[in-house]
Structure 1
């Protein structure tokens, strides 16, 4: 397992579908994952420190974990099958709960939980970005500084099962 950071979310053109971009903490690979608009908004809210007037689903799950004394130990992106990514929420008790990566990432950002990715997933779907291409990544980061959660609103959510 390799630890990854959440770089941010963006809308991929021309499909107009949001993606979340992860990056290896110690490496040069990036992992783009197609996500739904609602999850993109939840991730963007967490990254921007936006606190909605009422808890969103991911805020509610965080509150439930805290209220029941459960601690989220780690988020694992464990598999990619037929183009669909799979993740696990790993509780401190050892219990593992299957989750969509987008939901797991939104929860991880709210709980400051470490995110790791299976090496074979990074090998299959990761994109190596050599140092000379870091300028493009910097442009993406600048985009993220100016994007708002409303930019991801869409009626459909491709982030299945």
Structure 2
């Protein structure tokens, strides 16, 4: 397992999602991420923000608490989306191994944020924010798929570009 710190590694940017200070990722997954980056034009950069997160780490309790609270708030705002709770608030494999990663897109040096309110961004708002960059999103997701990554089916998780390396 590789330990990536904030910065750039072999052409791929890394910025661990708060409160983490590093991203843990399997070497084979990272190699494929580098391959996906090489398929993109120079104006588009991949930004790895999340990888493996051990349940037993110091942040484990914090994550459990924030998920519990997040679920309550999400269900209050979006009672019609309760069926998405496990997709959005589950670990989605991040606690299994380093083949499950969240990736952002940097376009011309600026990070694109498709979830301005995190997972609490409405589906309508997600679509509106993404509409401006649909071509870029498709190019990135196609490169990831060609390199063996599977993009999460849930729209919100897909906008976080949660992907699993299937090798």
> TM-score, normalised to structure 1's length?
0.30
Higher strand proportion (structure 1 or 2): 1
Q: Higher relative contact order at CA 8 Å, sep ≥6: structure 1 or structure 2?
A: 1
TM-score by length of 2: 0.29
